[in-house]
Amino acid sequence: MRAMMCEKIGTDPVMRTVDDPVAAPGEVVIDIDACGVNFADTLIIAGKYQQQPEFPFIPGFEIAGVVSAVGEGVDGALIGVRVMAMAAYGGFAEKIALPADRIVPIPDGVSFADAAAFQITYGTSWFALKYHANVKAGDVVLVHGAAGGVGVTAVECAKVLGARVIATAGGPEKCEIARQHGADFVIDYKSEDITTSVRDICQRHGWPAGVNVVYDPVGGEVFNQSLRCTAPGGRLLVIGFASGDIPQIPANILLVKNLSVLGFYFGAYLDQNPEIAREGMSELLHNLAVGYITPSVSRLFSLAEVPQAFAALRDRSANSKMVVMCRDVTA
């Protein structure tokens, strides 16, 4: 099969031909049609991710495709079923072998591209907002990077939970994306000061204390500004550091305002909370099936174009979610 292989740290993957995977007992082989592109992909090939495979390896976390073979102990009726799954790595390839208990059938009417775009971004936002930060109807949620692959899902998930959403994004085009996905208020951080703008919005609408929850995949100075517009007792979700700067949190502000800073790493959370994981994924699939959430795929790439997709992440030219079509088929 063809696969995009990372051969040494710090270099983009290159196309290689490797042996097809074989299903071990309890596993299935999936013919991969689509694999989502995530900022974490760029971190893992740079050696900066929380969990690091040995080189060489095939990157790619979230896949969608068709079961083509099963191992011993797995129901043969799964062959031919459209499924999605989250893998530790191996997604930017034509095939993958995974434990059968990791796969989830794709709902009718959901494309491979949407299924591949759905799992990590929506999973991160849904579990972080609902189960980790305990967002309730009527809460005011500030979402940073709201036009990015994770940010747009945070806007949608917060709205499903009944929250009022203030979004930040860079430039008119990205601000419009956040608005189209349901943000009640949008701040262009390239031309507006985040702290001042959030405070103004809150004052005008009768929320003088500030926002209840901050969803921050950016870090750096954005996080520091968030501290100054969070209501007493507020929660700040640390999702990632797309800015490249890890904030050093001033503990005195946490103390005075009784703030909680909550780190959230989706993969570890699922492993640590299997019962919540099953419940939450069922909720997400329902929300997807009934149209409460809508995966936003901004661009499709071929398997050979994985380095171009990574470049779009690094230079922040990407809007919403990007997907690699591993068999160069239509979405």
The mean per-residue pLDDT over the stretch 107-125 comes to: 90
- pLDDT at position 26: 97
Which residue from 123, 115, 131, 72 is spatially nearest to 97, judged by alpha carbons? 72
- pLDDT at position 278: 80
The two three-digit tokens of residue 14, written as one number? 């290159």
Contact 30, 98 (CB under 8 A): yes
> Where do the CATH 3.90.180.10 domains begin and end in the chain?
2-106+296-325
Q: 302 or 319: which carries more pLDDT confidence?
A: 302
Query: In terms of CATH, what superfamily is 2-106+296-325?
Result: Medium-chain alcohol dehydrogenases, catalytic domain (3.90.180.10)
pLDDT band at 330 (very low <50, low <70, confident <90, very high): very low
Q: 245 or 330: which carries more pLDDT confidence?
A: 245
Which residue from 31, 87, 18, 34 is spatially nearest to 325, judged by alpha carbons? 34
Q: Which of 75-79, 114-118, 122-126, 202-206 is the least confident region?
A: 114-118
Q: Is 38 helix (H, G, I), strand (E, B) or coil?
A: coil
**251 C-beta neighbours (distance < 10 Å), count:** 10
> Is a pLDDT exceeding 90 seen at residue 51?
no
- pLDDT at position 256: 94
Phi-psi region of 269 (alpha: psi -120 to 50; beta: other; left: phi over 0): alpha
Q: Is 124 helix (H, G, I), strand (E, B) or coil?
A: helix
> Is a pLDDT exceeding 70 seen at residue 329?
no
Residue with tokens 């979230």: 62
Q: Which residues contact 104 (CB under 8 A, 6 or more apart)?
A: 83, 84, 85, 281, 285
The mean per-residue pLDDT over the stretch 282-300 comes to: 87
The mean per-residue pLDDT over the stretch 43-70 comes to: 90
Look at the pTM and tell me if it is higher than 0.75: yes
> Is a pLDDT exceeding 50 seen at residue 62?
yes
Name the DSSP class of 24. Answer: P
The mean per-residue pLDDT over the stretch 258-267 comes to: 94
Residue 125 CA to residue 230 CA, distance in Å, equals 19
Residue type, position 134, single letter = N
The whole-chain average pLDDT of the chain stands at 92
The mean per-residue pLDDT over the stretch 65-90 comes to: 95
> Where do the CATH 3.40.50.720 domains begin and end in the chain?
120-267
Which residue from 153, 103, 102, 114 is spatially nearest to 130, judged by alpha carbons? 153
Q: 235 or 120: which carries more pLDDT confidence?
A: 235
The mean per-residue pLDDT over the stretch 87-107 comes to: 93
Give the β-pairing of 82-86 and 297-302.
Answer: unpaired
Among 3-7, 272-276, 291-295, 327-331, the range with the most confident prediction by mean pLDDT is 3-7
pLDDT band at 281 (very low <50, low <70, confident <90, very high): confident
In angstroms, the Cα distances linking 13 to 19, 24, 86 are: 17, 27, 20
Q: What is the dihedral of CA 319, 320, 326, 328, to 10 degrees?
A: -60
- pLDDT at position 28: 98
Question: How deeply is 271 buried, as exposed, middle or buried, from its count of CB atoms within 10 A (0-12, 13-18, 19+)?
Answer: exposed
Q: In CATH, which of 3.40.50.10800, 1.20.1250.20, 3.40.50.150, 3.40.50.720 is domain 120-267? A: 3.40.50.720
pLDDT band at 319 (very low <50, low <70, confident <90, very high): low
Which residue from 241, 239, 261 is spatially nearest to 249, judged by alpha carbons? 261
Contact 241, 207 (CB under 8 A): no
Contact 93, 4 (CB under 8 A): yes
- pLDDT at position 107: 85
The two three-digit tokens of residue 161, written as one number? 């939970």
Percent of the chain with pLDDT over 90: 71
The two three-digit tokens of residue 69, written as one number? 């073979």
- Show the DSSP H helices in 127-167 as ranges: 151-160
Helix (H), strand (E) at residue 67: strand 62-70
> Is a pLDDT exceeding 50 seen at residue 331?
no
The mean per-residue pLDDT over the stretch 152-175 comes to: 96
